[in-house]
């Protein structure tokens, strides 16, 4: 009598199990910003995860602000002087610290050949956090000696982990955030279970939407010589006043995400408002980070005292992506 009831019962159980497996969604992780700054003002997303499965590289916005095999999101700060002041790296979500490293020196790589010197320690000083349900986040390139958590520590979203640095494979000061689910890289702008490429539905992990800003201004200023990109990452040329006896006055910009054909306009005006130097030039090739300047050499015994101004415009297909003005006082 009892046996006759087993079969339908078993079948029912199997169906129930099968059904629940088929509809179980990936548990999601919600992320806050991993860095204490205001995006677009004193920090910038410079590189996104690479979504191209082959040797090419594409970011989630179908742009080129990534490189082949880049597994995370790079939140950059303007220069090494900002880094020296200290910018906090924060836990993006609650969890338990799994691993840390804290003894790698900070050195900005200036040449691709230097990458062999950081082999095996590409992440530099870093922290890995386990968020449960097979989710992990990793934070890289922290400042030497700044890591302030230990394996086993419980963290909540926003817990300070250390400071932004230049350790490991870093060519500018930033924190690289990698997100993994079941040991697979997840692009936090797209979410888990997404197809490769950039034309894919997006289900971002960010708690509040992060705008896609693949082009922007990092910093601008005035110098008494033509600045090199490397000097800008160093944090040079921040002076608010310059001497009238300087050999020249140069207005410079440090930008990112330049595309071929972008039109750059720079203008330098003296204290009387007269344009003394200008430049109007299209980009001949794309550049991930870029600097452009315009200047005037001292021809008379001294440069005109007073307030000089510089204006920078970046136009793409006739539309101004950047329109920025800055002044400096000459004494
Ligand atoms: Zn990175």
Residue 137 Cα to ligand 1 middle (Å): 13
Residue 72 Cα to ligand 1 middle (Å): 5
Considering the domain architecture, whether residues 171 and 69 belong to the same structural domain is answered as yes
Query: Is the per-residue pLDDT at 10 higher than 60?
Result: no
Q: Give the residue-averaged pLDDT of 258-287.
A: 97
User: What digits encode the pLDDT tens for the residues 32-66?
Assistant: 999 999 999 999 999 999 999 999 999 999 999 99
Q: Which two tokens stand for residue 228?
A: 């090199």
Q: Give the residue-averaged pLDDT of 288-295.
A: 96
Backbone φ and ψ for 214, nearest 5 degrees, come out as: -80, -5
Considering the domain architecture, whether residues 170 and 303 belong to the same structural domain is answered as no
SS3 208: coil
Considering the domain architecture, whether residues 149 and 237 belong to the same structural domain is answered as no
Considering the domain architecture, whether residues 148 and 264 belong to the same structural domain is answered as no
Considering the domain architecture, whether residues 174 and 53 belong to the same structural domain is answered as yes
Mark which of 185, 203, 227 sits at the end of a domain. Answer: 185
Average pLDDT in the chain = 92
Considering the domain architecture, whether residues 146 and 271 belong to the same structural domain is answered as no
> What is the secondary structure of 246-311 as a DSSP string?
SSEEEEEEEEEEE-TT-EEEEEEE-TTS-EEEEEEEE-SS-EEEEEEEEEEE--SSSPPPEEEEEE
Instruction: Write down the pLDDT at residue 112.
Output: 81
Considering the domain architecture, whether residues 264 and 172 belong to the same structural domain is answered as no
Instruction: Write down the pLDDT at residue 130.
Output: 98
Backbone φ and ψ for 62, nearest 5 degrees, come out as: 65, 20
User: What digits encode the pLDDT tens for the residues 131-164?
Assistant: 999 999 999 999 999 999 999 999 999 999 999 9
Residue 284 Cα to ligand 1 middle (Å): 26
Residue 177 Cα to ligand 1 middle (Å): 7
Considering the domain architecture, whether residues 70 and 178 belong to the same structural domain is answered as yes
Segments forming the whole domain that contains residue 181: 44-112+121-185
Query: Is the per-residue pLDDT at 312 higher than 50?
Result: yes
Residue 31 and residue 205 in contact, taking contact as beta carbons nearer than 8 Å = yes
Q: Is residue 283 part of a domain?
A: yes
Residue 18 Cα to ligand 1 middle (Å): 40
Instruction: Write down the pLDDT at residue 91.
Output: 98
Considering the domain architecture, whether residues 81 and 156 belong to the same structural domain is answered as yes
Which CATH number is 130's domain given? Answer: 2.70.70.10
SS3 319: strand
Residue 220 Cα to ligand 1 middle (Å): 24
Q: Is residue 200 part of a domain?
A: no
Beta strand ranges found along 148-215 (DSSP E): 154-155, 160-163, 174-181, 184-185
Considering the domain architecture, whether residues 49 and 181 belong to the same structural domain is answered as yes
Q: Which residue has the higher pLDDT, 241 or 12?
A: 241
Considering the domain architecture, whether residues 50 and 168 belong to the same structural domain is answered as yes
Q: Is residue 248 part of a domain?
A: yes
Environment class of 135 (CB within 10 Å of its CB; exposed 0-12, middle 13-18, buried 19+):
buried
Q: Is residue 73 part of a domain?
A: yes
Of 242, 274, 217, 250, residue with least CA distance to 78: 217
Residue 115 Cα to ligand 1 middle (Å): 13
pLDDT class of 114 with cuts at 50, 70, 90: confident
User: What digits encode the pLDDT tens for the residues 189-210?
Assistant: 999 988 999 989 999 999 999 9
Which CATH number is 229's domain given? Answer: 2.60.40.2550
User: What is the 8-class DSSP label of residue 227?
Assistant: P
Considering the domain architecture, whether residues 270 and 314 belong to the same structural domain is answered as yes
Query: Is the per-residue pLDDT at 16 higher than 70?
Result: no
pLDDT class of 24 with cuts at 50, 70, 90: low
Number of structural domains (the chain) is: 2
Of 96, 102, 208, 238, residue with least CA distance to 163: 102
Residue 11 Cα to ligand 1 middle (Å): 50
Q: Is residue 93 part of a domain?
A: yes
Q: Is residue 7 part of a domain?
A: no
Residue 1 Cα to ligand 1 middle (Å): 67
Q: Is residue 31 part of a domain?
A: no
Beta strand ranges found along the chain (DSSP E): 44-47, 73-76, 88-90, 95-101, 125-132, 135-142, 154-155, 160-163, 174-181, 184-185, 216-223, 241-242, 248-258, 263-269, 275-282, 287-297, 306-316, 319-330
Q: Is residue 13 part of a domain?
A: no
Residue 172 and residue 218 in contact, taking contact as beta carbons nearer than 8 Å = no
């Amino acid at each position: 009598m009892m046996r006759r009831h087993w079969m339908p019962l078993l079948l029912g159980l199997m169906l129930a199990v099968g059904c629940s497996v088929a509809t179980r969604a990936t548990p999601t992780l919600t992320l806050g910003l991993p860095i204490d700054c205001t995006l677009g003002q004193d920090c910038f997303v410079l590189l996104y995860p690479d979504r191209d499965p082959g040797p090419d590289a594409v970011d989630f916005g179908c742009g080129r602000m990534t490189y082949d095999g880049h597994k995370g999101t790079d939140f950059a700060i303007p220069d090494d002087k900002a880094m020296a002041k200290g910018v906090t790296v924060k836990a993006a979500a609650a969890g338990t610290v799994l691993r840390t490293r804290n003894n790698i020196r900070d050195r900005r790589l200036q040449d691709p050949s230097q990458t062999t010197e950081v082999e095996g320690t590409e992440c530099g000083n870093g922290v890995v956090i386990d968020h449960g349900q097979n989710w992990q986040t990793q934070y890289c390139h922290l400042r030497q000696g700044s890591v302030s958590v230990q394996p086993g520590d419980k963290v909540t979203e926003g817990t300070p982990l250390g400071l932004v640095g230049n350790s490991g494979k870093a060519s500018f000061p930033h924190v690289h955030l990698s997100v993994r689910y079941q040991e697979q890289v997840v692009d936090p702008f797209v979410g888990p279970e997404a197809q490769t490429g950039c034309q894919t539905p997006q289900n971002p992990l960010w708690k509040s939407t992060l705008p896609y800003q693949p082009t922007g201004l990092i910093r601008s200023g005035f110098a008494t010589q033509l600045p090199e990109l490397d000097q800008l990452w160093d944090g040079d040329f921040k002076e608010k006043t310059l001497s009238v006896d300087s050999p020249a006055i140069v207005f410079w910009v440090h930008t990112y995400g330049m595309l071929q054909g972008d039109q750059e306009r720079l203008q330098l005006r003296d204290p009387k408002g007269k344009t003394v130097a200008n430049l109007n030039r299209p980009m001949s090739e794309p550049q991930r980070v870029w600097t452009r300047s315009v200047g005037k050499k001292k021809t008379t015994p001294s440069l005109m005292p007073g307030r000089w101004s510089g204006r920078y415009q970046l136009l793409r297909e006739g539309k101004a992506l950047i329109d920025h003005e800055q002044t400096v006082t000459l004494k």
